[in-house]
Structure 1
Amino acid sequence: MASLKPSVLQTLIVLLLALVLVCCKASLETEQEDEEEINVTTMGKKPDLTECPQECSCTAEGAVDCAGVDLTEFPAELSDETRQLSLQNNKIETITVDHISHLHQLQTLNLQNNWLTTDGLEDEGFEMLEQLAYLYLANNKLTSAPRVLPPSLVSADFAANQLTNIYPYTFGQKPNLKSVYLHNNKLTDASLPYHMFNGSDNLEILTMSSNFLQIVPGHLPSTLYRLHLKSNKLEQIPPGAFDNLPNLRELYLQNNHLSNEGMDNETFSQLNSLECLDLSNNNLSVVPKGLPRNLVLLHLEKNSIRSIPGDTLSSVRNLEYLLLHNNKLRSRSIHPAAFQGLKKLHTLHLYNNLLERVPRSLPRRAKTLMILHNLISEIGRNDLALLYTLTELNLSYNKLTSPKVHHEAFRKLRMLETLDLSGNSLHSLPVGLPRSLRVLEIKNNQLNSIPDGALSAMKNLQKIILSNNQLKLNSIYQGAWMELSALTTLDLSGNQLSHIPSDLPESLEYLYLQSNRISTVPASAFEGTPNIKGIYLR
Structure 2
Amino acid sequence: MTQLCSGGFLLLLLASVPSSFLLKDQEEDELPLATSRPARVTPAQNVPGCPSKCTCPTEETVDCGGLDLHIFPSNLSAGIQHLSLQNNQLQELPYNELSRLARLKTLNLHNNHINSDGLPDEAFESLQLLQYIYLANNKLTLAPQFLPNTLRIVDLAANRLTCIYPLTFGHKPGLRSVYMHNNQLNNTGLPFDVFNGSDAVSTLILSSNRLTYVPQNLPHALVRLHLQNNFISRVPKGALSSQWRLRELYLQNNNLSSEGLDTSTFSRLKSLEYLDLSNNNLTQVPAGFPANIVILHLGRNRLSSLPPERLSRVKGLQYLLLQGNTLTAAGVHPDAFSHLRFLHTLHLYNNRLERIPLGLPRRVRSLMLLHNQITRVGLHDFAGTYALVELNLSYNRLYSAHIHRLAFRKLRRLETLDISGNHLTLLPAGLPSSLQVLNLQKNQLNSLSPELLANLSMLKELHLAHNRLRISSISPGTWQELYGLKLLDLSYNELSYVPPDLPESLEYLYLQHNRIAVIMAEAFLTTPNIRVITLRSNRLLAANVSEMAFADLKLLEVVDTTGNPEPISISLLQAVRYTNTNMGT
**Secondary structure, aligned partner of 2:167:** helix
Runs of 5+ consecutive residues of structure 1 not aligned to the other structure = 1-47
Match of 1:187 in 2: 185
TM-score by length of 2: 0.83
Partner of 2:420: 422
- 1:470 is the counterpart of 2:479: no
Confirm whether residue 54 of structure 1 aligns to residue 52 of structure 2: yes
**Of 204, 207, 214, the match for 2:205:** 207
Tell me the equivalent position of 2:518. 520
- Give yes or no for contact 1:440–1:465 (8 Å, CA) kept in 2: yes
What is residue 269 of structure 1 aligned with on the other side? Answer: 267
Match of 1:405 in 2: 403
Provide the secondary structure at the position in 2 that maps to 1:91: coil
Tell me, in whole angstroms, the C-alpha distance in 2 between the residues paired with 1:61 and 1:366: 58
Partner in structure 2 of residue 239 of structure 1: 237
2:243, 2:202 → 1: CA distance?
Answer: 11
- Give the match for residue 375 of structure 2: 377
Does the CA-based 8 Å contact 1:97-1:123 persist in structure 2? no
- Name the structure 1 match of 2:166: 168
Cα shift at 1:474: 2.3
Does 2:529 match 1:531?
yes
Aligned to 1:460: 458
- In the aligned structure 2, how far is the partner of 1:463 from the partner of 1:369? 19
Q: Displacement, 1:411?
A: 0.4
RMSD: 1.0
Q: Calculate the TM-score normalised by the size of structure 1.
A: 0.90
Corresponding position of 1:486? 484
Q: How many residues are aligned here?
A: 491
TM superposition shift of 1:452: 3.9
Letter in 2 for 1:472: R
**What does 1:31-46 correspond to in 2, within 5 Å?**
none
Paired with 2:202 and 2:163, the residues of 1 have a C-alpha distance of 22
Q: Partner residue of 2:150?
A: 152
Q: Which amino acid aligns with 2:246?
A: L
SS of the residue corresponding to residue 403 of structure 1 reads helix
Q: Take 1:504 and 1:215, find their aligned partners in 2: how far apart are those partners?
A: 62
The residue number in structure 2 matching 1:249 is: 247
How far did 1:125 drift?
2.4
1:446 aligns with 2:450: no
* Matched residue, 1:224: 222
Q: 1:49 to 1:498 in 2, by over 3 A?
A: closer
Shift of 1:123: 3.5
The C-alpha deviation readout for 1:251-304, integer Å capped at 9, x for no partner, is 000011101100101110000000000000000011111101000000101111
Specify which of 364, 371, 375 is matched with residue 366 of structure 1. Answer: 364
Q: 2:430 aligns with which of 428, 432, 438?
A: 432
Q: Which whole-Å CA distance do the structure 2 matches of 1:356 and 1:75 have between them?
A: 68
TM-superposed CA distance for 1:49, in Å, is 5.3
Per the alignment, residue 7 of structure 1 pairs with: none
* AA matched with 1:297: I
Shift of 1:242: 0.7
Letter in 2 for 1:296: V
> How is 1:489-508 mapped onto 2 (pairs within 5 angstroms)?
489-508=487-506
Among all aligned residue pairs of Structure 1 and Structure 2, give the percentage whose two residues are the same amino acid: 55
Q: Where do 1:304-343 residues align within 5 Å?
A: 304-343=302-341
Conserved? CA contact 1:49–1:79, under 8 Å: no
- SS where residue 125 of structure 1 aligns? coil
Q: Matches of 1:140 and 1:160 in 2, distance apart? A: 7
2:394 partner SS:
coil
3-state SS of paired residue (1:124): coil
1:72 maps to which residue? 70
Q: For residue 525 of structure 1, report the CA deviation from its aligned partner.
A: 1.2
C-alpha distance in 1 between matches for 2:369 and 2:330: 15
1:55 Cα offset (Å): 2.0
Among 89, 98, 101, the residue aligned to 1:100: 98
Whichever of the two has the greater Rg, that structure is 1
The one-letter code of the counterpart of 1:281 is N
- Tell me, which stretches of 5 or more residues in structure 2 are unaligned? 1-45, 537-585
One-letter code aligned to 1:467 = A
Offset of 1:51 from its aligned partner?
2.7
Equivalent position of 1:26 in the other structure: none
Q: Distance in 2 between matches of 1:97 and 1:499?
A: 80
- Conserved 8 A contact 2:450-2:479: no
Give the Cα–Cα distance (whole angstroms) in 2 for the partners of residues 375 and 519 of structure 1. 39
Q: CA deviation at 1:61?
A: 4.4
SS in 2 for 1:127: coil
Please say if residues 162 and 186 of structure 1, whose CA atoms lie closer than 8 Å, have aligned partners that are also in contact.
Answer: yes
CA distance in 1, matches of 2:163, 2:65: 28
Residues 1:142 and 2:134 are matched in the alignment: no
Measured in 1, the distance between the counterparts of 2:525 and 2:76 equals 75
Q: Evaluate the alpha carbon distance shift between residue 276 and residue 58 of structure 1 in structure 2; reply closer, same or farther with a 3 A threshold.
A: same
Q: Answer whether contact 1:249 1:273 (CA < 8 A) is retained.
A: yes
**Cα deviation, residue 89, structure 1:** 0.5
Shift of 1:406: 0.5
Q: Which residue number corresponds to residue 9 of structure 2?
A: none
Q: Deviations over 1:335-358 (max 9, x none)?
A: 110000101000000000000001
Where does residue 283 of structure 2 map in the other structure? 285
In structure 1, C-alpha distance between the alignment counterparts of 2:59 and 2:416, rounded to whole Å: 56
For the residues of structure 1 that align with 2:116 and 2:282, how far apart are their CA atoms?
39
